Structure formats: C-alpha cells, structure tokens
Amino acid sequence: VMIEQPANDPFAQHIITRKRKKYKFANFDSFPNCFSHLRTTNAKHTLEKLKTYLADKPMVLEIAAGNAQFSFELAKKHPDLNFIAVDIKSDRLYTSAKKALAEGVKNIAFLRTHMNELGDIFPKKSVETIWLTFPDPFPKKRSAKHRLSHVSFLRQYRSILKDAGLLKFKTDNRELFLWSLEQFVAQSWHICELSFDLHESNLPDDYKIKTYYETRFTQEGIPINYCTLNV
C-alpha cells in the first residue's frame, strides 16, 4: 500500500532537498566551467585545468563564495579579468555556474575545494585580488581557528597575492569584523579603505554588488562592514 506524504511533511521535504543536491552535484561535475579539488587531487593538475579553461588574464578569487552571485556580476562587468569563485559545496556554486554557461560569460570558473587548500593550488604571487564575502563568523572562541580571517588563512592569502595584491572583506557581523581588523593589524596588513556602512559610503559601486545574503541584510537595515587591505 502506497501512503502519500503530505506536502508539509518534514521527512518528505528532506528527501526532496537531498535529491536536488545530488542533481546539482552531478551537473556541477559535468559543467566545463566547474572544477573540483580534493585533498587527494594533484594541485598542479587542478591549476592546469583552470588555466586551460580561462584565458590569460589577471586573477581574482572569491573565497567562500556561496552561490557566487557576486563574482558572476563582477565577471560580467570586467571581461578583462578572470574570476574564480571558491566554495566547499558545489551545490551552492551550481546556480551561477549554470548562468555563466547560459549567458556565455567565459571569464569565470567555479572551484570546489577546502579553503585551506588554496596555498597548494595557486602559485605564490599569482593572484591580483581576493574577495572574502560574508564568511561564517564561527562565534564561539574555540572555533576562532576556522574563521577565514584567522592568521592561518591570512598567511595563505599573503602567499598567493601579488606584491600589490589586495584583500577585500565585507561582512554584516560587526563582532567578526572588529576581531578581523585586529588580526589584520597584528599581521602587518595595511588598511587602505574602511567603512562600517558600505552602502552609505562613497566607495566604488563594484563593492556594493550584493550577494544573496547581503540583499537580505540590507533589506533588514543591517549595515555592511567593509575594508580593503594590502600586503
């Protein structure tokens, strides 16, 4: 006997969500603009595949990119640059990867990897700009080492950024922002631009392109914190 699950049944919704994620995972791996790097993958091989897909242009990374809407919009505005949106979950990257293929935006690639693998994949002094957009704040003190502005990650960024390279950081979380500023100063990063309310500032419009979460935060009246740093 088949028992029909009610539309609002949590178990049924869970099954549907899992099927959607599996579908996105499968499609991500089949898209020509998508790449996966796991700890067992050869880093040089991953880099070569990225170089084969992208033309020879200055490189911009977005770290913990989520659905990569921000990088996608930047890529459309700046065809003279290459953008690589990085996240650990390919089902998040899937949406913008599909859009990029549909719209013929060829100066963006999507990379699934752990953030602590960046220093292995990208050569020293090879990246023009790193965007760190709305990372998980990991509010508990014991989880501070997982924050993407922790010293262990800052060392990776410093290594792969060019001498005049920039780190650009925005977040709605004021506590994370203040903590991060302390880390930047302690590690001798120079703060070039700073705002505690990005969308009310005179900073460039590119900075104000909204991520999925940023749209929600600004609608709720939450100010966005922003800074530009160089090494």
Q: Which residues are catalytic?
A: 136
How far is Cα 141 from Cα 30, in angstroms, rounded to an integer?
A: 40
| DSSP letter, residue 187 | T
CB 62 within 8 A of CB 133: yes
CB 48 within 8 A of CB 123: no
How far is Cα 1 from Cα 4, in angstroms, rounded to an integer?
A: 10
| Contacts of 59 by beta carbon, 8 Å cutoff, 6+ apart | 81, 82, 84, 122, 126, 127, 128
Q: Where are the alpha helices (DSSP H) in 161-211?
A: 174-186
Q: How far is CA 1 from CA 4, 5, 13, in A?
A: 10, 13, 21
